Amino acid sequence: MKIYLLQIDAFPYNDELKTFSSNNNFTKLPLITNGQFTIPTVNSIMTGCLGSDLMDNGIAYHCHTSPRWLNWIKKYKNLHIHEIAHLQGFKSIINNFYDYFWGTFDHVKYNQPYNDLLKDKSFTDKNITNTSFIGEPHKRAGLVYSEEKENWLKFKEEMHIGNNEYFKREKKYINTLQSSDDDLFFHSNLWFHHEYVYRNLQPKDDSIKKTFEWLNLWDFNEPDSLFIIYSDHGFSVKEMTEPKDFLTWCFIKDNTINKLNINRKIICSSDIYSIILDKMNYTNPYNFIEGESIQKKLNKNRIYYSEDSRGDVDVLKCLTATAVQIIDWYDDNYPKELLQVTYNKSKKKYHYFTLNFDKNDYNPYIYKKIDMNDEENNKYSNNIKYIKDCLVERIKWLKK
Ligand SMILES: [Zn+2]
């Protein structure tokens, strides 16, 4: 069996995406992410946990630069998805992803600090596959902002040279991958994200078009395979969280024999972890997992949590905690109204948003801020009180 996690970083939910989903018979679900930038969301997928379940103060913007970054791996053995994959006979492949996730591979040495792993040539060579990219793999997206930008511009040049050489190589890589057995494959496509970030928030070129070109290189009908394609957060996240920052999209296609029985019409990023464990027939011994099996009955009272930090506030501590509840549902169990409660610890302030779903679709970019001084919003007070209580109870660092 093959499991493909294709992360399309920060990619907006748009009409082309919806067409792509229906053309390829995906199940299309609204996704609530456990983070508003890449690392906490990826962490929730790889561990099923919130960042603060694993490290004090959650996963902040520059957490990965701390020597303590992966300390929890020693404490919670066989929690990480790549360790479980290893146990269950899957080969893990992380393709085109930030090097600070390398240390999360199945054969990570428990007592080896992350920085030493980076120096270990045999470790990096073994684990990173980037055959479609000529440059050094770990230079594709480095630790330092300027380096990352430089490499992105280099990569773009490469993507556009010759007679579609880059896409030919990529196609070959994907074909080879799709004809092997029992892999857990994680890929992060950063084209839109990098165009957005490195072009002054105005993606000027065809990064959206190129992304679809890349997606169309895949055979989504591969037998005995599971595809999960999603975006890890919104694309213009500011210091204070809004629905567009955590409400993204997730497409699932299950070509395996024992198909997933998808029992919900909304999903959380940590639930992706549970899908993979279901598929690998692995039961987690840990009782603090945030992710839920989407095959189980929907809990309509569920609260979805996320933690965030922005570089300009505190790079090593999360300061914004968000709790979201679907407070109204359509008859077919599609979400109808979402209510967001966010607390910012540095400003000591709460704020609230509401977003209405259409029947079987949604627009993550249209929502309303709730002003509790406005009498017409009294109808939300009970919900808000309940969600606030849950938030304070759940997020440990709020009480410190
Ligand atoms: Zn991201």
Look at 29-43, 201-215, 332-346 and tell me which has the smallest mean pLDDT: 201-215
What is the share, in percent, of the chain residues with pLDDT greater than 70?
78
| 45 Cα–ligand 1 center, Å | 13
Please state, rounded to an integer, the average pLDDT across all residues of the chain.
83
| 18 Cα–ligand 1 center, Å | 20
pLDDT per residue over 140-152, tens digit each? 333 334 556 666 6
Whether the per-residue pLDDT at 124 is higher than 50: the answer is no
| 191 Cα–ligand 1 center, Å | 11
| 19 Cα–ligand 1 center, Å | 23
Average pLDDT on 103-118 reads 40
| 96 Cα–ligand 1 center, Å | 13
| 79 Cα–ligand 1 center, Å | 22
pLDDT of residue 147: 55
| 209 Cα–ligand 1 center, Å | 19
Average pLDDT on 2-12 reads 94
| 42 Cα–ligand 1 center, Å | 8
| 3 Cα–ligand 1 center, Å | 20
| 174 Cα–ligand 1 center, Å | 22
Higher pLDDT, 127 or 7: 7
pLDDT per residue over 303-323, tens digit each? 999 998 865 567 778 989 999
| 269 Cα–ligand 1 center, Å | 13
| 346 Cα–ligand 1 center, Å | 24
Domain 2-302: CATH architecture, name and number where available: 3-Layer(aba) Sandwich (3.40)
| 9 Cα–ligand 1 center, Å | 4
Cα–Cα distance, 250 to 32 (Å, whole number): 9
Higher pLDDT, 326 or 316: 326
Q: Which of 39-48, 115-124, 225-234 holds the top average pLDDT? A: 225-234
pLDDT of residue 205: 60
pLDDT per residue over 329-339, tens digit each? 999 999 999 99
Average pLDDT on 109-113 reads 37
Average pLDDT on 173-187 reads 83
| 310 Cα–ligand 1 center, Å | 13
